[in-house]
Amino acid sequence: MNFDGTVALVTGAAHGIGAATARRLHGEGATVVVTDHDADAAAGLARDLGARALGIACDVHDRGSVDAAVDAARAAFGRLDVLVTVAGGSVPTPDPEQVSDEEWARLVDLNLTGTMRCVRAALPLLHESPRPAVVMVSSVNGLAAFGDEPYSAAKAGLSVVAKNYAVRYGPAGIRFNVVAPGTVRTRVWDGQDGALERLAPHYPLGRVGEPEDIAAAIAFLASGDAAWITGVTLPVDGGILAGPLRSMFPER
């Protein structure tokens, strides 16, 4: 997977999966635009990467902020070849009969509409690229019933959007794919002692994911090695979707 000469913009890139993705793409030769609402952390990661990296503040809730980040990438590097949308997340919400319109809309905006803002802003530059690719980060929540309905509904929407955009923009050579992680060891689990260890046995591979596991899949789908893959959602989930009830059965 050689990204020499390409420019990649990663949202939510200051921490966790986004940071691992920025490091992976940079290590494979890409120039990386590190964007995050945490501007200081984005700038810090860009400094750590050194050459071929730029840190920019970006709030995916704000169209102006998204447009400004893409404009900064254009001004600095003159092109954009890869867009990876990692920014998203969830917060505890009430049961469905109690969740407010505002809570639902906020999570859909962050996890679905925010991604679409990024795609819309990037498309003019992607049309000019010889090897354009978009990879959206979803979740197994978008593929099966794991609760957290507003977040899950938004993540499910990414798969449908990717299929439609793959068909619409395929003739222009722009590929759209989705990665759907299972439980991943990120800072969202900080302070929840033992939670990841309790979840690990539910995964057929016996562990939760690491950010680098997801970054590797993203790098593949963004690379020329996946040149004939578009419109797919790839679970990167340690087998949880293949055997979600594994832990209920005794070992044979």
Residue 80: name the closest of 22, 124, 17 by CA. 124
Active-site choice (151, 165, 169, 203): 151
Residue 129: name the closest of 1, 2, 5 by CA. 5
Distance separating alpha carbons of residues 150 and 211, to the nearest angstrom: 24
Query: How many Å is the maximal CA-CA distance in the chain?
Result: 60
Q: Going by DSSP bridges, is the β-strand pair 31-36/233-236 parallel, antiparallel, or unpaired?
A: unpaired
User: For residues 99 and 120, is the Cβ–Cβ distance under 8 A?
Assistant: no
Q: Is 151 a catalytic residue?
A: yes
CA angle, 52 then 53 then 56, to 5°: 150
| CA-based radius of gyration for the chain | 18
Residue 75: name the closest of 108, 44, 117, 33 by CA. 33
Residues with catalytic roles: 151
